[in-house]
Amino acid sequence: MHRNYFTFERQVAFLNTEIRSAVISKCFTHRRDELVIQIEDGQPGFLRIGLQSATPYLLLDPIRNIKDPMFDLFEHLRGDIIEQVTIIPYDKLVSVVCHDHFLLCKFYGALPNVYLMDKAGSMIESFKKLNKNERFLSPSSGADAHQQPLLSDFERRAHHQPVSAFFTGQVGGFNNTLTRELLFRAKIDPQSPLSGLGAEQWTHLIGIYEALVRELKSGSIRVYQHAQQPPVLALTALEHLASGYTPVVYDNINQGWKQYIFLRFQKNELQKSLQRSLSAIKKKIAYLQSSLKKISDFDRLEEKKKLSELKGHLLHTYAAEIPRGAAEVNLKNIFSTKGETINIKLNPAKTLQENAAKFFEKYKHLDTLKSDLATKRHTYQHELKYWQRLYTEANEIDSLKKAAKLADLLVTKKIIQADSAAERSQTADIFSFNRLLLDEKWEILIGKNAKNND
């Protein structure tokens, strides 16, 4: 509900108790998509206006030291006095009304923005690049607006759309979350056609709707937390949520919304950090599995070596019967009790002896690889078990601290790159070397470069 109209309505009511008559000392931005209004006189603070389309916010924070570069905006507002904060009913269009100007904050659509307006309603400046097709509204343009009353029982019978589509599409302020909660409490299937509800069902549903709206306007603020899911901001108890969510109650909407934004940021950072680490671990596992498959392919080369040598012996055995310049021959295998026919392709430009030598030499180095391959197999199998276990453990991580610890481990192991050159220069350890496991217990380090060898 962090983008819901009722959330903004509750925050507007809160701000009117906190910042009326406050003097604006300056406006600035220090991060993308956020405008900050610094207020003095009374309780100093920052009014933070966040314009991310996915996570908008309107929060009052204490003044703090900002180390990021700041860019001043809206110089006309310096010294102006805030008279009130308003919101157009059932529209996320908030106005910070001052003595000489007002700020129009648009929190909906693909391009949220903040506009500095004069009292006549003319735009002076915008926070983001102006959309020329934007239609501006004055702070009082929605003052007399009100939500359309719900359908009468007679009117309802003419609507055949699902009841969920009706509430999300035609009832002011009701989004998917509130609609699910409403129908859950009313025990009505969301896909039931509106016209199919009985008169008693409709009356019961209206009663629950009215009670829910009262809760949204004055109920306790909750932030639902889940180990594996994003947090949920709510202005009422959400009974329809799946198991695993734990609600934390806050004194006011400003505190709850602020905590929600903090948890949402943490969850997003956690997901980004984990995604990077998990992706790197998956690549490492895929590499080890591919390497083990190649070693298995080498095992099958033993059979190919025997067949190649058999062809060489057969060419020597049948040398007198093979015509010069032949490109292919079929010879009976006299070395087998089955006596099967072996097809042998030849190079017509070469002598019979040269063709035979080719088959003998094709796999002549295979024997020398066996010992190395066995060692590599043990090494890769040992590492594969380690990385598979780490991948399973990584999927259980639920805090930024643990995610950062995992990332540091992967940097040390040269699986991901450190964020800075200074950090990268301090990560030389045994994982900087090629490693082999002998007899499944002795680890041998082999330098990759002159620095390693030194």
Identify whether residues 17 and 96 lie together within a single domain: yes
Structure tokens at 33: 């998509």
**3-class DSSP string for 407-449:** HHHHHHCCCCCCCCHHHHCCCCCHHHCEEEEECCCEEEEECCC
Between CA 280 and CA 284, with CA 281 as vertex, the angle to 5 degrees is 90
431 is in which domain, residue-wise? 268-453
Does the residue 10 lie in any domain? yes
- Amino acid at position 102, single letter: F
Confidence of residue 425 (pLDDT cuts 50, 70, 90): very low
Identify whether residues 14 and 99 lie together within a single domain: yes
Structure tokens at 191: 């896909």
- Check: CB of residue 141 under 8 Å from CB of residue 88: yes
The pLDDT value recorded for residue 441 is 59
Q: State how far Cα 248 lies from the chain centre.
A: 24
Confidence of residue 448 (pLDDT cuts 50, 70, 90): low
The residue from 263, 290, 313 where one domain ends is 263
Does the residue 136 lie in any domain? no
Identify whether residues 259 and 273 lie together within a single domain: no
Structural domain total, the chain: 3
Identify whether residues 285 and 358 lie together within a single domain: yes
The pLDDT value recorded for residue 199 is 87
Of the candidates 384, 436, 391, the residue with the CA atom closest to the CA atom of residue 410: 391
Identify whether residues 361 and 287 lie together within a single domain: yes
pLDDT in tens, 134-175: 555 554 444 444 455 566 666 767 778 899 999 998 888 899
Crossing angle of helices 176-186 and 199-218, rounded to 10°: 130
- Check: CB of residue 210 under 8 Å from CB of residue 233: no
* CATH number of the domain within which 21 lies: 2.30.310.10
Identify whether residues 312 and 256 lie together within a single domain: no
Dihedral class, residue 322 (left if φ above 0, else alpha if ψ from -120 to 50, else beta) = beta
Confidence of residue 118 (pLDDT cuts 50, 70, 90): very high
Of 156-165, 230-239, 397-406, highest mean pLDDT = 230-239
Range with lowest mean pLDDT among 250-254, 416-420, 430-434: 430-434
The residue from 236, 263, 290 where one domain ends is 263
Does the residue 161 lie in any domain? yes
Identify whether residues 352 and 227 lie together within a single domain: no
The three-state secondary structure class of 272 is helix
Does the residue 370 lie in any domain? yes
Does the residue 145 lie in any domain? no
Identify whether residues 292 and 435 lie together within a single domain: yes
Residues 6 or more apart whose Cβ sits within 8 Å of residue 263:
223, 225, 231
- Check: CB of residue 359 under 8 Å from CB of residue 309: yes
The pLDDT value recorded for residue 135 is 59
Identify whether residues 91 and 16 lie together within a single domain: yes
pLDDT in tens, 54-113: 889 999 999 988 888 999 999 999 999 999 999 998 889 999 999 999 999 999 888 899
Handedness of CA 254, 257, 263, 269 (dihedral sign): negative
Identify whether residues 394 and 289 lie together within a single domain: yes
- Check: CB of residue 281 under 8 Å from CB of residue 390: yes
Separation of alpha carbons 429 and 443, rounded Å: 14
The residue from 248, 263, 278 where one domain ends is 263
Identify whether residues 109 and 179 lie together within a single domain: no
Does the residue 150 lie in any domain? no
Does the residue 151 lie in any domain? no
Does the residue 238 lie in any domain? yes
Q: State how far Cα 317 lies from the chain centre.
A: 68
* CATH number of the domain within which 244 lies: 1.10.8.50
Separation of alpha carbons 318 and 313, rounded Å: 9
Beta bridge partners, 225, equal 246
Identify whether residues 188 and 335 lie together within a single domain: no
Separation of alpha carbons 288 and 280, rounded Å: 13
* pTM to 2 decimal places: 0.66
What is the dihedral angle through the alpha carbons of 184, 187, 190, 192, rounded to the nearest 10 degrees? -170
- Check: CB of residue 278 under 8 Å from CB of residue 390: no
The pLDDT value recorded for residue 436 is 63
